[in-house]
């Protein structure tokens, strides 16, 4: 009689975690490991800077079996920041979508690595009342609807960031946050998002220690700085005469230039997707300057009809698409097709004045300029047909003239 002995091999549940190295995701690694998951962390270098050199050791110290760090700065700049700049998208007229923009790119990479490593799960560190949960999960489902998304922060036992800090210290998890500086910070080359701690009181002015990239306007240089930004077909290619092959480096350099003048601080009460209002503080020095420059050049090269249509239809709608996690939607692709067509005309230079928290366009030029000095001037060179203007006014004002007569009866 033969006996067959069967050994049940239980494969670990493998998950690819979007890992920033911050408090939440560092705690998540240990929390998932304790629940039987094999955690592979994925960190995208989207221009957040110096802390990335510590990422692999921090992730493995927290319990990860492998830590992946990938340089995505140029892809992020060209495929995500640039289209948003061309749309002049600002959520609720203020937020340049700094953190929102990186989420679909990171989600795309999570899916790619999940498929590569045979993982059935991806995970993120978003809360149940935040926006990022929507952006991550909608992006993942659009790309691979069969992958399950884990969101430990929505499930775990911690009720505050202070409890997370205590947990991290107790388990010797290396984290930057402390009880004295309990900010939640998300950085990429397009800007910094800052939350929590004293910022949760919308009446209180943000402490100076909350800011990293921008000088206080009061301490900024006493003399203004003038810079020129050059564009070619809607792409920024130069600053102050220096040409850039990499858009990401141009943005990073512009962050430093504008940041020392205190430009790009944003403090707002924002309407989140889940229905609550949240006090948000951002730093986006380079993006702030680029928005001013691009808008001004766009107004120079577009006819009135197209420019007005753009202003009334594109910035708000594009900002909603990005903010609400709809990056991988036909709507975003259609909006990009429109703004890319307009960008073909956006070539030239914009001169800007940077001074104590303010950026002002003071000059612009373009080979595609629709500004005709002979038509605009009030000098002897004036070529405008003033008599035609009188007739135009009569025709244009006819509806109101008729209305006035009817109401006068």
The tokens of 191 are what?
Answer: 């800007």
What is the distance in angstroms between the CA of the first residue and the CA of the last residue of the chain?
114
Q: What is the CA radius of gyration of the chain?
A: 26
Angle, alpha carbons 362-285-361 (nearest 5°)? 10
Active-site residue, 184 included: yes
- What lies within 8 Å, CB to CB, of 273 at 6+ separation is 131, 134, 323, 324, 325
Contact between 352 and 226 (Cβ < 8 Å): yes
302 in Cβ contact with 267 (< 8 Å): no
Please give the full DSSP string across 166-227, using - where no structure is assigned. Answer: HHHHHTT---S--SSS--EEEEETTEEEEESGGGGSTTSPPPGGG-SS---GGGS-SS-EEE
Whether 132 is a known active-site residue: answer yes
CA 25 to CA 139: how far, in whole Å?
A: 19
Q: Is 24 designated active site?
A: yes
DSSP lists the bridge partners of residue 227 as 352
Among 270, 318, 321, 278, smallest CA distance to 127 is for 278
**Which position among 20, 132, 248, 364 bears the catalytic label?**
132
Ranges of beta strands (E only) in 72-151 are 121-123, 148-150
Residue 233: Cβ within 10 Å count: 12
Which listed residue (30, 103, 295, 364) is catalytic? 103
Closest CA to 192 of 285, 124, 127, 56: 285
Q: Whole-angstrom Cα distance, residue 278 to residue 270? A: 5
Q: Which of 20, 24, 30, 186 is catalytic?
A: 24
Cα separation of 23 and 158, whole Å? 12
Rounded to 5 degrees, φ, ψ at 66 are -155, 145
Q: How many helices and strands, by DSSP H and E, does the chain display?
A: 15, 14
What are the two backbone dihedrals, phi and then psi, of residue 69, each rounded to the nearest 5 degrees? -125, 130
**Residue in the block written with tokens 């001004």:** 296
230, β-bridge pairs? 238, 349
Could you say which of 20, 26, 184, 347 is catalytic? 184
Residues taking part in catalysis: 24, 103, 132, 184
């Amino acid at each position: 009689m033969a006996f067959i002995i069967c050994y049940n091999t239980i494969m670990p549940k493998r998950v690819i975690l979007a890992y920033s190295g911050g408090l939440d995701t560092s705690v998540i690694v240990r929390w998932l490991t304790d629940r039987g998951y094999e955690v592979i962390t994925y960190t995208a270098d989207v221009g957040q800077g110096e802390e990335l050199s510590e990422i692999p050791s921090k992730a493995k110290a927290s319990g990860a079996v492998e830590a992946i760090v990938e340089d995505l700065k140029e892809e992020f700049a060209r495929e995500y920041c640039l289209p948003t700049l061309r749309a002049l998208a600002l959520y609720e007229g203020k937020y340049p979508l700094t953190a929102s923009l990186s989420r679909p790119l990171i989600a795309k990479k999570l899916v790619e690595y999940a498929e590569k490593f045979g993982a059935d799960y991806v995970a993120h560190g978003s809360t149940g009342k935040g926006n990022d949960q929507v952006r991550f999960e909608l992006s993942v489902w659009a790309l691979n609807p069969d992958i399950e998304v884990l969101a430990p922060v929505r499930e775990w036992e911690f009720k505050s960031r202070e409890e997370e800090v205590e947990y991290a210290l107790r388990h010797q998890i290396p984290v930057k946050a402390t009880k004295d500086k309990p900010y939640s910070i998300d950085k990429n080359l397009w800007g910094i998002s800052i939350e929590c701690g004293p910022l949760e009181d919308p009446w209180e002015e943000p402490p100076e220690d909350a800011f990293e990239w921008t000088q206080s306007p009061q301490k900024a240089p006493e003399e203004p700085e003038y810079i020129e930004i050059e564009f070619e077909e809607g792409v920024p290619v130069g600053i102050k005469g220096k040409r850039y092959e990499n858009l990401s480096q141009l943005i990073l350099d512009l962050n430093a230039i504008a940041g020392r003048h205190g430009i790009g601080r944003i403090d707002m009460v924002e309407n989140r997707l889940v229905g609550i209002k949240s006090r948000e503080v951002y730093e986006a020095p380079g993006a702030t300057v680029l928005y001013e420059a691009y808008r001004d050049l766009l107004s120079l090269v577009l006819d009135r009809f197209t420019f007005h249509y753009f202003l009334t239809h594109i910035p708000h709608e594009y900002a909603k698409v990005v903010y609400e996690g709809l990056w991988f939607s036909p709507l975003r692709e259609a909006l990009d097709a429109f703004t890319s067509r307009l960008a073909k005309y956006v070539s030239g230079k914009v001169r800007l004045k940077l001074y104590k928290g303010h950026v002002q366009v003071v000059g612009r030029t373009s080979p595609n300029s629709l500004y005709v000095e002979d038509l605009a001037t009030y000098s002897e060179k004036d070529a405008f047909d003033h008599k035609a203007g009188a007739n135009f006014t009569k025709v244009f004002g006819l509806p109101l003239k008729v209305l006035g007569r009817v109401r006068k009866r």
